[in-house]
């Protein structure tokens, strides 16, 4: 179901999805009220939900949609503003599975190949995820998968996290699980997000965790007790620096169709940090992070991956796991405690 107050946008998206061949657009709606009322009749698997609409906007409609049809996947769509970025992240906390930034105005939407491609990719990823949901507590029977990769004896000094679809909520849970250990180590995050979204996400992490979290500047020293969030639209890497490692930002070509890319961060970390790095690949579509994880393992670093059952989409962590590059493949709830053990040296 496509929910947008613009008849042009509704028609465009419906046509794109029909032409893609993998989807049936069962209905469209001009506002949240119409969408909620249509839910029982059409029972869509996925709802594309615009945020800004008359009568009932996306934020008001979201909890009603989830209540009437538990398990439905809602992807919120909004124009690229800081306010909409804040609202989109709020929607993720309320149960939306993903977000998508759209160009402003019907004309820009109709001519944006990037928006069309991102829309189809996200829908394909969620259509293939078989209704997995994240759990806030350890599920019964959840298992820890031990990899054949040899255990690492070096205590890590730098934590690197890569994520995409479903990542904001997963990152929150992992970092919350670190507790006071957050102050002992620098944390570098690549979360696939557009500009402004990464700014808002860094602000959210700072408020949630009570530690410094920011989009770094180029050349900024990498120091403990700080969370560095790669800015949307720019790669975040690492350079040795004159006295200590520093952040490197650049606008080079996308890697794995992504900028920022996890592979860029991981490869630099393998070169600069070596075995002192600790890499984590969380939920996300695509394969970004696999090549970088190979570089990290080759440098003697530790790599963990989120398991399939707790991933919104098991693309990125699945790629690392299937390549045999993960030291542990863990449920989301177990990753924070495991990281704490590696950082403090208390893991078996």
| Residues assigned a catalytic role | 164, 192, 288
DSSP 95: T
Cα–Cα distance for residue pair 172/207, rounded to 1 Å: 11
Closest CA to 52 of 32, 75, 36: 32
**Sign of the CA dihedral running 194, 254, 238, 218:** negative
Cα–Cα distance for residue pair 48/53, rounded to 1 Å: 13
DSSP 308: S
Q: Which two tokens stand for residue 2?
A: 């496509």
Cα–Cα distance for residue pair 1/114, rounded to 1 Å: 21
The residue written with tokens 């419906």 in the block is 14
Number of H helices, E strands in the chain: 12, 15
Are residues 327 and 304 in contact, defined by beta-carbon separation less than 8 angstroms? yes
The H or E element containing residue 32 is helix 32-42
Phi, psi of 230 (to 5 degrees): -60, 130
Cα–Cα distance for residue pair 233/195, rounded to 1 Å: 6
Task: Please list, residue by residue across 312-323, b when 16 or more beta carbons sit within 10 angstroms of its beta carbon and e when fewer do.
Answer: bbbbbbbbbbee
């Amino acid at each position: 179901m496509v929910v947008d107050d613009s008849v042009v946008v509704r028609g465009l998206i419906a046509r794109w999805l029909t032409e893609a061949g993998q989807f049936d657009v069962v209905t469209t709606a001009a506002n949240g009220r119409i969408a909620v009322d249509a839910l029982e009749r059409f029972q869509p698997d996925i709802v594309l939900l615009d945020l800004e609409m008359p009568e009932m906007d996306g934020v008001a409609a979201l909890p009603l949609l989830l209540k009437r049809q538990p398990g439905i996947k809602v992807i919120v769509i909004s124009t690229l503003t800081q306010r909409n970025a804040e609202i989109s992240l709020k929607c993720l906390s309320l149960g939306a599975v993903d977000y998508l930034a759209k160009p402003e105005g019907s004309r820009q939407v109709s001519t944006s190949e990037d928006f069309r491609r991102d829309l189809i990719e996200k829908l394909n990823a969620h259509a293939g995820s078989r209704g997995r949901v994240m759990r806030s507590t350890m599920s019964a029977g959840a298992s820890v998968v031990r990899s054949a990769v040899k255990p690492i004896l070096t205590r890590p000094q730098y934590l690197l996290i890569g994520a995409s679809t479903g990542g904001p909520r997963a990152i929150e849970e992992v970092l919350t699980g670190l507790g006071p250990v957050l102050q002992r180590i620098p944390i570098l995050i690549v979360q696939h997000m557009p500009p402004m979204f990464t700014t808002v996400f860094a602000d959210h992490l700072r408020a949630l965790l009570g530690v410094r979290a920011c989009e770094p500047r180029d050349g900024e020293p990498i120091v403990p007790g700080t969370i560095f969030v790669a800015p949307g639209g720019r790669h975040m890497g690492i350079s040795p620096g004159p006295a200590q490692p520093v952040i490197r930002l650049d606008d080079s070509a996308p890697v794995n169709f992504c900028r920022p890319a996890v592979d860029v961060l991981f490869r630099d970390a393998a070169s600069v940090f070596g075995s002192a790095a600790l890499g984590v690949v969380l939920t996300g579509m695509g394969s970004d992070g696999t090549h970088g994880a190979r570089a990290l393992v080759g440098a003697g670093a530790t790599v963990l991956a989120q398991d399939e059952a707790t991933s919104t989409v098991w693309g990125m962590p699945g790629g690392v796991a299937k390549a045999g590059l993960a030291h542990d493949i863990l449920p989301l709830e177990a990753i924070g405690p495991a990281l704490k053990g590696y950082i403090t040296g208390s893991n078996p």
